[in-house]
Amino acid sequence: MTPDESPLRAAPSFFEVVLHQRACREFSADPVSDGDLHQILEAATHAPSAMNHQPWVFVVVREEAARTALTTIMRELWEGGGREQTEGRVPDSLLHEVDLGFTKTLPEAPLLIVVAGDTGTAPLEQLGWSVYPAVQNLLLAANALGLGSALTTMGIFRGAEVQDITGLPPELVPMAIVPIGWPAVRLGPPRRIPVAQKVHRERYGNPW
């Protein structure tokens, strides 16, 4: 894909990007340029990977019928058991936000990036620790450009259908579907447990 020209913008600091990263599930109809996408995907491909296998593959899906097919799979999985398994595990406000995303707003994202792992490059059981760092880079790069994104893995439970929709051969295993677009609403601060509750000094139980 050849990047087109994108307007220059002031880059936020690294920590500003990281500390304000959060999922976006409501998108405007404004298009995302190839130039912005190239930057995002280049950042993704500079993630670390085990043995430098770089087993990631990305399929950018803009075509409406394919996007609809992919988001329909996610909605059906959510309504067929995903919502039930999530209830009681997250705050009601977050559950409502996720529910709204799967049932209504994710289809409005102007593009989806299907992320796959190449089992011809690395063993299946090793793909996660190489592919998901690349996804994290992708999410952070999108945030740095002001774009919204969200990590979704619901679709991988019907991976064969995702492969069929995107033309992925059997050795390329779907691992995530990431909607990308300009946020339709201003994103609030991320919900995070304080560092002091998650970090221990020297041994577990010693407060940080």
**Rounded Cα gap, residues 149 and 60, in angstroms:** 13
Q: Does domain 20-187 have CATH number 3.40.109.10?
A: yes
pTM: 0.89
Could you report the per-residue pLDDT of 100-156, keeping only the tens digit for each? 888 888 899 999 999 999 999 999 999 999 999 999 999 999 999 999 999 999 999
**Burial of 135 from C-beta contacts in 10 A (0-12 / 13-18 / 19+):** buried
Residues in the chain: 208
Q: Write down the mean pLDDT value for the chain.
A: 91
The phi-psi region of residue 207 (left if phi > 0; otherwise alpha if psi is between -120 and 50; otherwise beta) is: beta
Could you report the per-residue pLDDT of 2-28, keeping only the tens digit for each? 445 444 556 788 999 999 999 999 999
**Rounded Cα gap, residues 200 and 181, in angstroms:** 38
Spatial CA neighbour of 70 closest among 154, 136, 147: 154
Could you report the per-residue pLDDT of 145-197, keeping only the tens digit for each? 999 999 999 999 999 999 999 999 999 999 999 999 999 988 888 888 999 99
3-state secondary structure of 56: strand
